Amino acid sequence: MIVSSLSNQQLEFYAREGYVFLGSVMDEPTLENFRAEEARFRDAKTDAPGQLTIFRSQVHDFSPVVREYALNGPHLGAMQQLVAPNLALWFNQFVTKLPDGESQKSEFPWHQDNGYVSIEPANNVTIWIALDDVDEENGCVWVVPRSHENGLLDHTPKGADSWFLNVPVEGDGVPAILKAGEAVAFTGLTLHRSKWNKTGRARRAFFLEYADASATFGKDKTSILRAPESWIVRGAAPISSFS
């Protein structure tokens, strides 16, 4: 069964814990189409030798498959419940972890999505969709329950040669173990990470970020609708965004 809305119990859990398991948000044909697009974008350019995590961002402008899902997918009703009636697509990205062995190079450290780009109001949501079955062995997402209650935290670079940001966290958090086509949603302030892929197969995933259409981003508090490739997906844009 494909999820199109959330129960009161799920909404209460999300508000309290800062994340929620949605269940299945992609049917099998859509899942296969996304896997084909992941392969196409993965081969679209040459990455640095030895790179074990491949990021392909803002692909909806280049893919009718992604664009149709991002703008009209069955998950949008749930996104409105979590964010606002006037909903904007803010970001989307394929993230593929290649087999890593024990090098741990594909580990992505603890962070908040709003640690990279601050959004106000901070009721934005990330929906993280597994394109393969994911668990602790192949690099699933881990979340820290109720961490969104602490607001936006200070982030520091992981290292001099890395653009990854990091927040120190004690403990392991909760693993988001998902079947292919299932999703977890979390707030822009929820601490999360993913570990390295210990298996011999690629771990493919896709995520989208949605925000209130009246939101602003960055230090200058620019309208989110002025951001590159930001689209209204439900409701209407506030008139103030055109001023």
Mean pLDDT across 228-240: 87
pLDDT bin (cut points 50, 70, 90) of residue 67 is very high
Residue 4 has pLDDT above 60, yes or no: yes
Residue 68 has pLDDT above 60, yes or no: yes
Specify the pLDDT at position 100.
85
Specify the pLDDT at position 152.
87
More reliable by pLDDT, 86 or 158: 86
Burial class (CB in 10 A: 0-12, 13-18, 19+), 50: exposed
Among 94-98, 201-205, 238-242, the minimum mean pLDDT is found in 238-242
Specify the pLDDT at position 159.
60
